[in-house]
Amino acid sequence: MTAEFDSQVLRITDDGVLIEVRFSVREIIDESVIQSIGQELHSLIADRKQPRLLMNFADVRHLSSSALGVLIDLEAAVQERRGRLVLTEIADSIREVFKITKLDRTFDIQAIASDARADLR
């Protein structure tokens, strides 16, 4: 059974195997929002042995360094549980930040959401 729910800035679909997260904001720069996102994402994987998490950035145009920190922490938490985190649909400007910071080597980044979704199943 697939569950869908929205929070302050996240649209979440959970089919029991794959958790897909989309952002409903164009900019992820407000510190309180970023902390809230981090808490919510960690709660999504807390009860999963091997979480499979797809984060779709199709609507996001700006991402702060604090948001990158949340993603790094989330990746570590997913790895601890022997799961997988895939980022997809990242705008070129944000993707460039991942390259400059060498985070493109840390994260599994795939261009097309449907391909990433199939890869995670």
Q: Which domains does the chain have, with CATH numbers?
A: 3-120 (3.30.750.24)
Specify the pLDDT at position 7.
87
Specify the pLDDT at position 121.
86
Residue-level length of the chain: 121
Specify the pLDDT at position 120.
94
Q: Can you tell me the distance from the alpha carbon of 98 to that of 93, in angstroms, rounded to the nearest whole number?
A: 9
pLDDT band for position 57 (cuts 50, 70, 90): very high
Lowest-pLDDT range of 6-10, 34-38, 40-44, 87-91: 6-10
pTM for the complete prediction? 0.94
Query: What pLDDT, in 10s, does the model give residues 16-39?
Result: 999 999 999 999 999 999 999 999
Q: Which two tokens stand for residue 115?
A: 């391909």
Using the predicted structure, report yes or no on whether residue 89 has a pLDDT greater than 80.
yes
Using the predicted structure, report yes or no on whether residue 56 has a pLDDT greater than 90.
yes
Specify the pLDDT at position 1.
74
Pairing of strands 27-28, 52-56: unpaired
